[in-house]
Amino acid sequence: MYNSVLKEYHIFIIFFRTVVMDIKRNSVNNDNEKEENNSNSTEEQLDKQELIEKNGETVVQNAKHLIHCLTIIGQIEGHYILPPQNKTTKYEHIMPALVAIEQDRSIEGLVIILNTVGGDVEAGLAIAELIASMKTPTVSIVVGGGHSIGVPLSVAAKHSFIVPSATMTIHPVRMNGTVLGVPQTLSYFDKMQERITGFVTRNSKISAERFKELMMNTGELVMDVGTVIDGETAVKEGLIDSLGGLSDAIEKLYQLIETGENRYADDTVSHNKSEVN
């Protein structure tokens, strides 16, 4: 009898120790999982913060649709590095970001926020061409200013917005540094100007004649040729599609996502603003 009770007691002790060890093991595993999750969350937050600081980009996760926000601010930096005190948008950052957005099937739309003084003509036009050729639904919004090469960037999206207080400067192509006074230089400027005019008129409702008229206006700017227009005038001229703010841009982007064509379809996507509207 005593041996039986002692045997049962030993079995109970072994069982109790096993249970305690399992509890401790589970507790350690849970703590490790929490630490790992916290570490992953911290790393994810740091990655997002670094993305915003370096490239002015952010991805909105907890939203009706997964959209990507891309900012084009300051001066467009092209083939030459600008001074460190300049706030710049580097085209070598924006271009691969656009490629990644277009390939990522989880990203449903792209909102582009512009506040730029212009900059490198070819770099800005290259970025604008990439945006215009995307199948991903895109909406742009001009806040502050969309000057110079910022004009093609503003109209490159499938639908463009501008806030009432924003302005846009339309002027001919300019070049810094040594310029040779030969006919070839004038021909180069004319061809570059035609490239910009053609892009803007293809991606907005303004005519080429009216755009050139605004560009060559001599009574608006003190030290230059061109025109400065505010948000309401930009819409009236047909340069920008709509007058509105951030909520209007997001709502329009959601509409394009929900009613637009399949971005992965084989058919050709039209970028003509009159057809999109």
The set of catalytic residues is 148, 171
Contact of 60 with 246, CB cutoff 8 Å: no
Would you say the C-alpha torsion 215, 222, 141, 128 has a positive or negative sign?
Answer: positive
**Cα atoms found within 13 Å of the Cα of residue 109, Cβ hemisphere only:** 28
Angstrom distance (rounded) from CA 72 to CA 68: 13
Q: 177-211 b/e with 16+ CB inside 10 Å = b?
A: eeeeeeeeeeeeeeebeebbbebbbebbbbeeeeb
In terms of DSSP H, where are the helices of the chain?
A: 2-55, 91-103, 121-132, 150-155, 183-202, 208-215, 231-236, 246-259, 273-276
Q: What is the C-alpha to C-alpha distance for residues 57 and 101, in angstroms, rounded to an integer?
A: 11
Compute the chain's Rg from CA coordinates. Answer: 28
Token pair of 114 as six digits? 């512009």
SS3 116: strand
